[in-house]
Amino acid sequence: MFLWLQRCLLVFCVLLTVGCTIVNNSDAKNVPPAGQEKMSSVSSSEAKKLNLPQLQGTATVEMKLPYGTVVMEIDGNNAPITAGNFVDLVNKGFYNGLTFHRVVKDPSPFVAQGGDPQGTGTGSYVDPKTKQVRYIPLEIWAEGEKQPTYSRVLNPGVKPKLKHSRGAVAMARTPNPDSASSQFYIALADINFLDGQYAVFGYVKSGMEYVDQIKVGDRIESARVVQGLENLKLPN
């Protein structure tokens, strides 16, 4: 009973502090950066036609932290757009030098969140060619389905293939389902109450002991794709 009450208190406190969303990458008004518009909801067929990177298969990413190297397996089989976006940003060197701006460990381990170029929780990836923020649709593949669900959370009781177990890597977003861009978080514990609400796209395979040491302000010294880059398909 005590652990259940503690978890409820954690969720309640986080809801109060981030503007009615559990993992947030915007300010209290939940708006994108000035001059940018959020993506409209998309269907599964429309998602396949979006001008976005996709990962057709898996890839391995090594992320060097001040404490050691974390190895992530990125799953494009079950989250092709979400995984493709992340691998593309890693390959561009986008994450090198960025900080973890949000780390929640009390009253129990929750998440370490980074990937914001502004370091404040309000930033996103701006495509240097278009000068526009690149948003990706919420992408969650439910068990037993033939394709992912886009632009909406799963119905209660529907389980995703990729779950929020300890070491899960997922995209942060505002309450708008299609507002994820570059910010990601790593689950510091099993946080399955987020299953079906946020897009998991990979898992830490080794180095979780270094993730556990992350503090607010710690930098990603470097991130690189060490395997599977050939599975990244860039838009024409």
Q: What is the pLDDT of residues 153-205, one digit of tens each?
A: 999 999 999 999 999 999 999 999 999 999 999 999 999 999 999 999 999 99
- Regarding predicted confidence, which is higher, 161 or 12? 161
Could you give the 3-state DSSP secondary structure of residue 1? coil
Average pLDDT over residues 97-111: 97
Domain span at 121: 23-233
- Give the pLDDT band (50/70/90) at residue 38: low
For residue 34, tell me if it sits in a domain. yes
User: What's the pLDDT at 236?
Assistant: 80
For residue 18, tell me if it sits in a domain. no
Q: Among 207, 212, 198, which residue's Cα sits nearest to residue 82? A: 198
For residue 12, tell me if it sits in a domain. no
Q: How many domains does the chain have?
A: 1
Q: Among 149, 222, 175, which residue's Cα sits nearest to residue 24? A: 175
- Provide the b/e sequence for 137-172 (b: ≥16 CB within 10 Å): bbbbbbeeeeebbbbebbeeeeebbbbbebbbbbbb
Which CATH number is 214's domain given?
Answer: 2.40.100.10
Q: How far apart are CA 15 and CA 236, in angstroms?
A: 40
Q: How far apart are CA 64 and CA 57, in angstroms?
A: 23
pTM of this prediction? 0.85
